[in-house]
Chain A
Amino acid sequence: MVFPDRIERTIELAHPPGQVWAALTTAEGLGTWFGNEATIDLRPGGLARMSWAGGPTVEMRVERMEEPTVFGFTWPIYGLPDDDPRRTYVEFTLEPVGAGTRLTVVESGFAQLPDDAYGKAYDGNTEGWARELSELVDYLDAV
């Protein structure tokens, strides 16, 4: 069985890269076509937040910014616990074509493994709960 590590899409837009760049990298743009509301601190390492009405809020970290050709960010992998360090990397590439723009989006990192799939992070978690529960039992026994 073969699972995708990366997803890639390319679309041709009738608008010049500058305009597409603004749609991708400003709070106003992101909050209009992507989410319902957005904030962004547009610099490598800066944080962006996007939320959907009645839905979740997603936090992104700006990783690459080469105006107006490359915009990259990382965000959490859907379905994994909040404290999971794994994130996918999303990169938009803008290429002028005539008066318009060829926009490519690549999201990669779906198939990455945790540092140790069977390791301490997870065992620590379950052990943590077992310990908490046994401490509770001890506490109740002592009362």
Chain B
Amino acid sequence: MRAAPFDYSVYDDGLLAAAVLAVDPAAIGGVVLRASAGPRRDRWLADLRQFVAAGTPVLRLPLHVGDGRLFGGLDLPASLRLGKPVVERGILAHASGGILLLAMAERLSPALAARLCAVLDFGEVALERDGFAMRMPTRFGVVALDEGASEEEYPPAALLDRLAIHLDLAGFEPSSRTDRHDLSAHVSVARTLLPAVVASDSLTEAFCGAAMAFGIASLRPTLLGLRVAKIAAALAGRTEVAETDAALAGRLVLAPRATMVPTDAEADSQEAQPEQSAAQQGLDRPHTENAVDVPDAPLDDRIIAAIAAAIPAGLLGLLSSPDPAVSKAQTSGRAGALHKSRLRGRPAGVRRGEPQGGARLNVVETLRAAAPYQSLRRREAAVSGRHGATFVQVRREDFHVTRFKQRGETTTIFVVDASGSSALNRLAEAKGAVELLLADCYIRRDSVALIAFRNRSAELLLPPTRSLVRAKRGLAGLPGGGGTPLASAIEAAVALAESVRRKGNTPTIVLLTDGRANIARDGEPGRPRAEADALLAARQARAAQLRILFIDTSPRPQELAHRLAGAMGATYLALPFADAAGVSAVVRQIASRSP
């Protein structure tokens, strides 16, 4: 039975995203839901729960999940009861057919993301743990709850690439249509209709062209977008993808990933801008008009226009500007593992020992150690008249504990004065030092960050990274010149250092400046206030007890620079001709000292 044609465009994109995901969660990978925790996010999740089929598992995956719970492993009570190893399925296998909610996805480690991605890609859990080797098929969709507050805070890029829909709930007014009943009914119809839905060659080509026009390099979003388009068609009761379906997929999948805007589409949407901002960044405007905007244009141009209309006006300007500011889609993701204590972090092997002082017992290895002696111990117990009720007799000497990586990483934060005339030279040398240190990093597993300050503010140019590739891209084309907002720079460095520390890593700040502050904290010029502010910030830095290296780059050592270094408890070094090799050598020396 064919459902009556259904016009889904009366609903807002947020609600449609939930409906699309509910039709076939695994097919589209999932949704990145960028929103702070609150009623709006809860409402979206509640909608999603209403749309999914009854009995669909919706599981929450905590950030700190260990591999054992993630993949599965030995089921201890059952194994002890039965006297043979019994496998326990992990969360990923349990989520099969349903949805996995990733809390605080912006803090997800690349290691956990890579594990998730492997399972998403191949639809099965490859369990090679605790003596088990098995494959467990599992297909699920992920909802990454991204609470990232700043441009730098994003879930790992590998995961972002695999989740079709990127939805930002900020500045997004839910549609006036509150009746979800209709949509809910069509979700279940769509589920049965979906296998029959096809996309014509011309539409596929147009969609590929659109993805390329928006500078989306990875091919995965294109593939995922086509699946979203098919689901949209199924929602509408169609068996062939129509232009409106492709436009919806473009808005949900391609628009948020755009790294550039095709020139003519830009002109189109600039005209449409006033109307858009009035409609709260255009997410709840009636969508029917998107696709029919330019009826005579070729199909791909119409899709491109529809997508461009979905990109918020501010971002559009940013993307089309010639400045190769690295797009957020490419730099997202956080490098660096979490090594908090002996209880946390990634396991680094197992050793014999007792579970004391917080060390965690490794049950499988303990059992393995105990196993060979079981018959002996049973006999022994029988002789001594102690008939133990336990099937397996484990003794103290069998205990094995899991070792975790304990040494935290070092993160070197370069804070570079990019003001004034000598800026270019200093920046080039700082850049060189960053790269030299990074080249050394893969041995020590350390990371590097870079803050540059000029004009009125300090800017984080390179979030902590271990990747030379990313660093090179982040450092390309550093601007120089302008005033010296030293106070803001110190504050930014301390804030970053503290966030590094919260992750269990050890920060070292390297400040390259001549110390001649002339911009106050509030961005106003004026030397006396700027210097007072800088001194205040320096004292705050000292209170934070950070390891700081102050490199004075002025031709003649400055008295103020010296005072600043003293105030922040920094190691002061006059290096008028600071060159890359020199700086990196000094930093390496300082960083290797224990804090």
A and B associate in one complex: no
